[in-house]
Amino acid sequence: MSELILFLAEQGKTIKSGFLKSQDKAGTRNMYGEEQMALDKWADDVLIKGLKKTRLVRYIATEEQPVIIEIENPKNQFGVVIDPLDGSSLIDVNLAVGTIIGIYPGNVLDKGKNMIAAMYILYGPLTTLTLSAGNGVCDFVMDEKGEFNLTAQDIRIPDAKLYAPGALRKDYLPAHAKFIEELENEGYKLRFSGSFVADMHQILHKGGVFTYPGYAGKEKGKLRLLFEANPIGKIITDAGGAISNGRTDILEMKPTAIDDITPIYAGGKKEIRLIEKMIAESQSG
Ligand code: F6P
Ligand code: MN
């Protein structure tokens, strides 16, 4: 697994070097109907080609591919789930985007709680790598030689009043509207960039809650269970926080397909308990 993690970190370096080459749209859409950036496709290609060449994993599922790729003659049985460039609509305005990866012992259509490692590489003013592989959550910073140096170990999510709310307020479902109102009354400050990975990195280090809820007309929300919710969910949970769909722990969900989407609440346990209580009450009442 360490060989795989080092290989993926190396690909992060390559992806980082691509930002100068292009900030353009690809002129195509992915299976979720989202406009792809040229770099979405390129980063996807870098990762898939590299994994095929090294044969370090058996299964690859990425946000840009419609089916699970199975590698011939793999050296290991690992399955990886990848969002090659999360937040890519922000590339052309130079805001932070990232690569999100989860590693399973085998098949990727598995509960998030069975992941053996999760990581993300965040391309901001610094390039950082955040990893949880059974020994707590760690941060690494890429230096001028392109090497990742450990900067924080056993990261724990602090208790703080930040909230990152996705979706339009006019479409909020009643329990969610109540939750947001409560956070605002409690003095939570707004932090939403349009890049899930960047927003979650802030929540991991500074506390609070990120949500992309289910909303009127799209009760399952927007974000992907395999590629976004689960890997970030493992990291935030291993840091003492939690992730929920508003009813239950997302890491307990068995995926039905690689393109499953889910409402997301991720952050401090206190905030996750509050939304679960409000949704439960709205259903019982
Ligand atoms: O990958 C999907 C994504 O770009 C996330 O990174 C981000 O949190 C969300 O979509 C933003 O969605 P919207 O543009 O609807 O606010
Ligand atoms: Mn994404």
Domains, the chain, with CATH or none: 2-152 (3.30.540.10), 162-284 (3.40.190.80)
Task: Give me the residues of the chain with pLDDT under 70, please.
Answer: 23, 285
CB within 8 Å of 192: residues ≥ 6 apart: 164, 165, 166, 199
What is the best residue among 29, 209, 211, 212 to mutate for testing ligand 1's pocket, by most ligand atoms within 8 Å of CB? 212
- How many angstroms separate the alpha carbon of residue 41 from the centre of ligand 2? 13
- Are 234 and 132 in contact by the 8 Å Cβ rule? The answer is yes
Q: Which ligand 1 atom lies nearest to the CA of residue 164? A: 8
Side-chain-side CA neighbours of residue 283 (13 Å) = 7
Q: Report d(CA 164, CA 199) in Å as an integer.
A: 7
Q: Which ligand 1 atom lies nearest to the CA of residue 88? A: 4
Side-chain-side CA neighbours of residue 226 (13 Å) = 28
What is the best residue among 30, 95, 190, 223 to mutate for testing ligand 1's pocket, by most ligand atoms within 8 Å of CB? 223
Query: Is the whole model's pTM more than 0.85, yes or no?
Result: yes
Q: Which of 8, 16, 205 is nearest to 118 (CA)?
A: 8
Look at residue 25 in the predicted model and tell me its pLDDT: 78
Beta bridge partners of 122: 98, 128
- Are 18 and 245 in contact by the 8 Å Cβ rule? The answer is no
Look at residue 36 in the predicted model and tell me its pLDDT: 77
- How many angstroms separate the alpha carbon of residue 86 from the centre of ligand 2? 4
Look at residue 21 in the predicted model and tell me its pLDDT: 81
Q: Which residues line ligand 1 (CB under 6 A)?
A: 86-87, 89, 166, 194-196, 212, 222
Q: Report d(CA 109, CA 255) in Å as an integer.
A: 6
Q: Which ligand 1 atom lies nearest to the CA of residue 89? A: 4
- Are 83 and 100 in contact by the 8 Å Cβ rule? The answer is yes
Look at residue 33 in the predicted model and tell me its pLDDT: 80
Other CB atoms within 10 Å distance of the CB of residue 162 = 21
* Parallel, antiparallel or unpaired: strands 148-152 and 137-142: antiparallel
First to last CA, the chain: 48
Side-chain-side CA neighbours of residue 179 (13 Å) = 30
Q: Report d(CA 39, CA 32) in Å as an integer.
A: 17
Look at residue 20 in the predicted model and tell me its pLDDT: 85
Q: Report d(CA 272, CA 231) in Å as an integer.
A: 17
- How many angstroms separate the alpha carbon of residue 15 from the centre of ligand 2? 15
Give the residue whose CA is nearest to atom 4 of ligand 1. Answer: 87
- How many angstroms separate the alpha carbon of residue 134 from the centre of ligand 2? 24
